């Protein structure tokens, strides 16, 4: 199956659900991104800021770039001129740094709070308490150039459906709690980014609004 076939098949699976497709393009050369673009994809996910910044000028301007990997604060300025959404917000410090650079470019950058939902300790993300500490702070309320639009999580690498459903359900629960407590008057807080090549169908069933799919489109990254 071609890249276009894979994208069209997944888009068809998502039709009628709340979920939209973020095509994860990390490690793939620009020609493959162009193929995905020609097939209609407009949201691209990269996990390294340098790689994303190198590819961005080579693609049409209407691509929405989503950073899905960890962003060190000293790399925020690399992506601030163009990034649409940083899905991996894991600290107030990062929010403040993005805000500063977004302001310099007269932009607003969207952010998703990344939560730790997997069993693996190595996977990153906030606890609910840590997220609430950020949201309750004065420093957060002063930010004008970053806008939180939802939550993101990476589930455990497993085929255990009950485990996956539990983790996706947990992330949806965090989203609902935060929405009620901090974003009740903000319809823009609406994204639950969960689901990858191996588990996106379950994530969609659990309420995902953004699935991040790479290898099911491009083949394995080798």
Ligand X SMILES: *Cc1c(COP(=O)(O)O)cnc(C)c1O
Interface residues with ligand X (CB under 6 A) are 24, 26, 47, 68-69, 154, 196-198, 212-216
Q: Shortest Cβ distance from residue 141 to ligand X (Å)?
A: 28
CA angle 43, 74, 56 (to 5 degrees): 30
Q: Shortest Cβ distance from residue 63 to ligand X (Å)?
A: 17
The residue among 113 and 196 lying less far from ligand X, judged by its C-beta, is: 196
The residue among 68 and 131 lying less far from ligand X, judged by its C-beta, is: 68
The residue among 8 and 26 lying less far from ligand X, judged by its C-beta, is: 26
Q: Are 89 and 143 in contact (CB under 8 A)?
A: no
How far apart (Å, rounded) are the C-alpha atoms in residues 209 and 29?
Answer: 27
Q: Shortest Cβ distance from residue 47 to ligand X (Å)?
A: 5
Q: Which two tokens stand for residue 78?
A: 């690399």
How far apart (Å, rounded) are the C-alpha atoms in residues 207 and 204?
Answer: 5
Name residues whose C-beta falls within 8 Å of residue 39's C-beta, 6 or more positions apart in sequence. Answer: 3, 4, 7, 8
Q: Shortest Cβ distance from residue 199 to ligand X (Å)?
A: 9
Residue nearest to ligand X (CB): 214
């Amino acid at each position: 199956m071609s890249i276009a076939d894979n994208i069209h098949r997944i888009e068809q699976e998502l039709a009628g659900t709340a979920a939209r497709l973020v095509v994860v393009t990390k490690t793939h050369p620009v020609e493959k991104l162009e193929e995905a673009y020609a097939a209609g994809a407009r949201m691209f996910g990269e996990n390294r800021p340098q790689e994303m910044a190198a590819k961005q000028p080579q693609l049409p301007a209407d691509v929405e770039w989503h950073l899905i990997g960890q962003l060190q604060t000293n790399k925020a300025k690399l992506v601030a001129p163009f990034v649409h959404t940083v899905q991996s917000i894991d600290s107030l410090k990062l929010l403040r740094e993005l805000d500063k650079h977004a302001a310099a470019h007269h932009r607003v950058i969207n952010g998703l709070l990344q939560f730790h939902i997997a069993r693996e300790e190595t996977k990153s993300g906030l606890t609910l308490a840590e997220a609430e500490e950020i949201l309750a702070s004065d420093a957060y309320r002063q930010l004008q150039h970053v806008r939180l639009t939802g939550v993101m999580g990476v589930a455990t690498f497993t085929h255990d459906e009950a485990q996956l459903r539990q983790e996706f359900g947990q992330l949806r629960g965090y989203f609902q709690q935060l929405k009620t407590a901090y974003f009740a008057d903000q319809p823009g807080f609406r994204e639950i980014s969960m689901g990858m090549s191996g588990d996106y169908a379950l994530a969609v069933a659990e309420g995902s609004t953004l699935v991040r799919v790479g290898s099911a489109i491009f083949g394995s990254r080798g």
